[in-house]
Structure 1
Amino acid sequence: MDTTDLKNFLAVAAEGHYSRAANREHVSRASVEASVAALEAELGETLVAEQADGVVLTEAGTTFVEEAAARVARAPMPPVNRGGKAKASKGKGRAPVVKGEPKPFKKRQGR
């Protein structure tokens, strides 16, 4: 089970709505729905039942919340990217010559 899928499922369980869970996790609603569907396919049980005003956890979903929270807590933290040295552009340093236009950085075209 992917840690991201588990985090998305926990957000759905806490918020009770796919859109609010997506906003909470800063991802799209489709990716949250796909994460929940992937977990349901892997476990072979329905974890979430949709209603008119959101979603509710099924009995299997309620029992899986504790296991999902434990797995997320045990998962190793990903390394933090601190960035690196900025690299200079390797451009030509001036605009390219366009046929029929005056040369760049000249007041007028030579004859």
Structure 2
Amino acid sequence: MKTSQLHHFVVAAEELHFQRAAQRLDISRQKLTSSIAAVEAEYGANLFDRGAAETRLTRAGERALEDARAELAKPSTPPPPPPRPAGGKAKASKGKGRAPVVKGEPKPFPKRQGR
């Protein structure tokens, strides 16, 4: 479950009105409803009693609210650093290769052997 979904649930539980909660979170009501549906699916129970006159938390919703607040109060741990690639530093070759060609300079030729 994502922390954003928990945050949406906590705000909706505080407001007990989905439209005001969506305005407070600055998201659409559809997104708020889908976040709450995801939290309800995670807990496996209805967290809100949506009546015609008012919206209330169920017993499962009250327990979920306590759990969500505790989860949001925990400090977030940073992700572990990515693993370092295997191997060490690249080494220069020790062979006798040609010197690099420099523009405007003559090509290096092997020295002639004297007689």
TM-score band by shorter chain is 0.5 to 0.7
Contact 1:11–1:21, Cα closer than 8 Å, also in 2: yes
Cα distance in 2, alignment partners of residues 77 and 14 from structure 1: 27
Partner of 2:46: 46
Cα distance in 1, alignment partners of residues 32 and 75 from structure 2: 19
Output aligned runs, 1:6-85, within 5 Å: 6-76=6-76
Cα RMSD of the aligned pairs, angstroms, is: 1.8
Cα distance in 2, alignment partners of residues 35 and 56 from structure 1: 17
Could you tell me which runs of 5 or more consecutive residues in structure 1 were left unpaired when the two chains were aligned: 79-111
1:31-66 Cα shifts (integer Å, max 9, x gaps)? 111011001111111111112244211110011111
Partner of 1:2: 2
Cα distance in 2, alignment partners of residues 68 and 53 from structure 1: 26
Partner of 2:95: none
TM-superposed CA distance for 1:76, in Å, is 2.3
Cα distance in 2, alignment partners of residues 42 and 62 from structure 1: 15
Moved over 6 A (4+): none
Cα distance in 1, alignment partners of residues 14 and 48 from structure 2: 12
Could you tell me which runs of 5 or more consecutive residues in structure 2 were left unpaired when the two chains were aligned: 79-115
Cα distance in 1, alignment partners of residues 56 and 11 from structure 2: 12
Contact 1:12–1:21, Cα closer than 8 Å, also in 2: yes
TM-score normalised according to structure 1 size: 0.64
Cα distance in 2, alignment partners of residues 24 and 75 from structure 1: 24
Cα distance in 1, alignment partners of residues 16 and 77 from structure 2: 26
Give the letter aligned to residue 60 of structure 2. A
